Structure 1
Amino acid sequence: MTDPDFEAWDAAQAEMTAHERVVEALERGGSRADEGRPDFWNCPAHEDRNPSLHVEDAPDRVLLHCFAGCSQEAVAGALGIGLGQLFNERATYTYTDADGTPVKSVKRLPGKKFVQTGDTAAVLLYRLPAVLRAVAEGRTVWLVEGEKDVHSLEVAGEVATTCSGGANAWHKVDVSPLYGAHVVAVLDADEAGQKWANQVLDTLDGQAASLTFRQAAHGKDVTDHLLVAGTDTLVEVTPAERTPHDLAVAGEVRRLRAQQEARAALAVEEARAGRLGGTGWSPVDLRDVLVGLRDGTIDRPAPTLGDFGDGCLFYAGRINGVHGDSTAGKTWTALVTAAQEIAKGETVVYVDLEDSAEGALARLVLDLGVEPDDVAKRLVYLRPDEPLTLVSTAALRALLAERRPSLVVVDSTGEALAQAGANPNADDEVARWFRTLPLLAVEAGAAVLLLDHATKAGDKELWPIGSQRKRAAITGAAYLQKVAAPFGRDQDGRAVLVCAKDRHGNYPLGHRVAALRVQGGVISLAPEGTAAADFGDKTNADKERVSRALEAAGRPLSGSAVETAAGGNKARVQAALAALVKDGCVTVATGERNAKMHTLVRPFHADGLLL
């Protein structure tokens, strides 16, 4: 064929199904189908006068079986096509529940692209009904990395399963149907296959009745292998050598499952006996706490992290928060606190969902002056790209237990919720998230610092944006951080931290507790003063308008003159004027004819800051 002819023929081949491609190759090579049995053809791999090659059109491939004993590899070679051309570029795999009801579909498209439809959030085993029957009958279940491999093993007469999403998704699936099963896992011969095998080991070791690992002796995966040989020639292997951390994670997974099962069993027994023991509703023994309070060995909770000179901002072993707009410098507050803890010799865990390691480390080292060696030893930097699962939860718990951080920063809550698939405005979804990462850190004794965004200005400005459960979940202290004077690394200024909540009453609501200051290139937490800030007052705009009217007048004004100068609703002007007097921004003196004269002594700005 000429080059253009070949290109046209090659394009047509790509559009064919695998069955069409094989039939075209058979006809081109002179083979003919049996008149009475149209699925039987003359086998091109041997002299075949009586058609012995069965050609079956399967959902995702064509199956070739020569009854004279020729392998699929030999037949494909005789046809002049590769083994990969026995498979369709497009295929649809249907996932069902235990009863066989379709739940979702995975469509394979050209270029190894996969698209899911249906309930895409469902994470379940492929061919689940067959898996459940096999486990009940004590048959072996083969575990592989993709749906194509499942079908290859089914052709060989085996029961097999996988999950959608490839080798990196196994830790998300519900593997409980494989508990008590005899499992043979076949890993691909690549790095992803080793990672997958370790995930399988983490989730099924100690849960399956038996668990062995095998690998293809021919090609990369089990499909490649089965095209030229049987399952009995798969090579038995051991997953890559496990590090102490890997072993700790695997042990933690088993411990969590055993703990859950033990709690469930105890709860059932206690419930039958009419008691609440063994559950989360068991009464708490208060004797040690009462004795400690009486003897002075237990102190009232007080903040001990985030030192600003006159005190501290955050409580150890509790959930704390700082919220504000994107220019308020929340991350600087977190990093200054982290630098203080590192200087004490403590470990800090920084869960960064908004920046990069380069950005965070540049601030710590170049701007805050933390020694690189200290950062390397005492900062654990996490940049997660997936939600917490049973395995990753166990890994995080093991990490926290090993490093014992004094501070865990989550930057930011909004991004963490999004990654977890939680709606930030849904109370129940937000509450569930707080029982994951924040609770794990609290259980390890760390102060948790959540960075978040503020609501729009108004009477709820002291609240972070989204569900009220965010505010309710604060067990330490929360602050609104707001710019008082614009700042940058080379521009002096400050942001104030206003108490939005203090569970233990060390700071009153609305109290301007501290400031993040930038002065002469030095970034620090510092005292702010004791004046209360009325950030939630809806009259702030009126107060600024009255303040500006008095400032423009440059002299004392009577109440009626203020109304005229400020304009607008007279009642609101008088209310704003009274509020300014209360704030100490305006003084009142008796003038001629006993008129009350108002003098501006400190301008008021609508952001609520008395400057």
Structure 2
Amino acid sequence: MTDTKTAPGSGGAPPDRVREANGKRKKGLGFLTASWEIRDASGEVQAVHERYETGGEESSKKCLWRLPGGTLKDGLKGREIASLPLYGAHELDSEAMLVIVVEGEKARNALEEALRKAGITREQVVVVGTVTGASGTPSREVLEVLRGLEVVLWPDADEPGRSHMRRVAERLQGVAALVRIYHWPEAKEKDDAADHPAVISGGEKAMDQLLDDLCGAREYEPPEPEKPEGLKGRVLIGELLRGGIEPTPQLLDGLLYEGRIHSIASGPGTGKTLLAEWMAIQIMKQALSILYIDAENGPKLIAERLQELGADIEGLDELFHYYPAEVALDRESLARLMATVEQADPALVVFDSFADLLSIAGLEENSNDDCTRWMRTVAQPIKDAGSAVLVLDHVPKNGKGPRGGGSKRAKVDVQWNLEVTQHFDRERTGEIELKHDKDRECWLPKIVRFSVGGGVFARSAGTIEEMGPPTELTTLQREVYGYIRKRGAEGAGWGDILSGTGGSKGTLSSTLKKLVRLNLIEKDNGRYYAKRTEPEKPVDTPDSQGSVRFNRGSVEPDRTGATVGVQYGSPPLRGEPTEP
């Protein structure tokens, strides 16, 4: 027997019988009523399972584990119970005709004793017990001792017991030669093998009948694996085309898309931070907010530049959310960043600059894996939240594309490269040129130029820039507006307007956006509706090349090419910040 000490009738013994088991009593636990040694297949003791009962009228019991020679306080010292051998595994016979697996040591000993009393040998039937309790499951390594054998699982008569043996059966697939699960129809709730009448009586005839029932138990059949539902979120492309595909809205005409990731790469002193702040001002003019994460300039220089570029000082604290860079990649830091995005609800998030931000995060600029990780964990969630992202980056010494890992370009939707095409400084107006070598949406112009320096930052001729609220519509704008008015309360979808006016996709997108800004139309649930009659006063009109002639106040660089923008009093585009 594997029991070293067992109280007579210990499976629910009366209080006076508990004391008869053993005179040993532990403070706070009661009397030791049973102790089971759990041995591996070689017979070596791996653990000891002990049961204590308090006795008395309100007797309670508690089962505890310890290592051989160890204490109850130390327990198993971190060893998982699922890794303990099956109780009785050392008595397994590889030639046995049948192995019965029950739950627990008590049930195993009762059934083992009844089989031997009935003259059934271990060469015929061996009994083992699981020791994990109904909530656990022996590991696959533990169940390897049953490889190639015919196994019958006898669960306790309750749902936890049945679930326990189903899990054992699943783990025995491909291990045991055959697995059956025995169902005892007359069992009461929570009965186990020790409660079966044949086991209690030990009669030879009754045990033979029980053995026949066990051998005739239904073979376990693994449940059919659930068929995967397939991919979710299918988009009906035909339906999408029938409704008309509207181009991605632009946050800043010809420069930035709404909700996309952009990068501007350039060398030092080329004006990329100044350009980013100018973009921020144009967006704030639309009453949209900016989140600016700065690792390169500091708040004083950023503030001076914004002032020189004509930012509305009164509105800055409401719309311009500036933070010194503290963007690490730990969970807490990323959570704070996304909480700030939620609170500020920015149309654009600017990161200045990429190399410094990678360093703060402990990443390498030349590592594709590190660049990809930053984009995936920082920029992508912001894009998913609906904000546009602008990352300011540096170029290598050869001046071709962003510096460092090549995955930078792969992870952005728009890659702008910024170059100085005509020298500028505090006194002289020159020119910078944006040229994209990636535009996933393919709606932005290839080149955009700006006049800069000498107190000027302005977008050059050939690009569209408003100087004030327009008071006249172009021919196409008038035609589109008229078409939408005719549709009345029905409104018109983007595809309807495209076919109804015969315009191109690109010009229609900018035309609709312009009409919305003029408060002539509104967009609701993908359809456009007229709001009021158009203004009648004349304004600037396109020239023969399709560029817009602007009001007075435009400036020119030191070479041919009219520009529009703001003039300011000789800002320190290079060198030290101005004195407060």
TM-score normalised by the chain length of structure 1: 0.38
Q: Which is helix-richer, 1 or 2? A: 1
**Larger radius of gyration, structure 1 or 2?**
2
TM-score normalised by the chain length of structure 2: 0.40
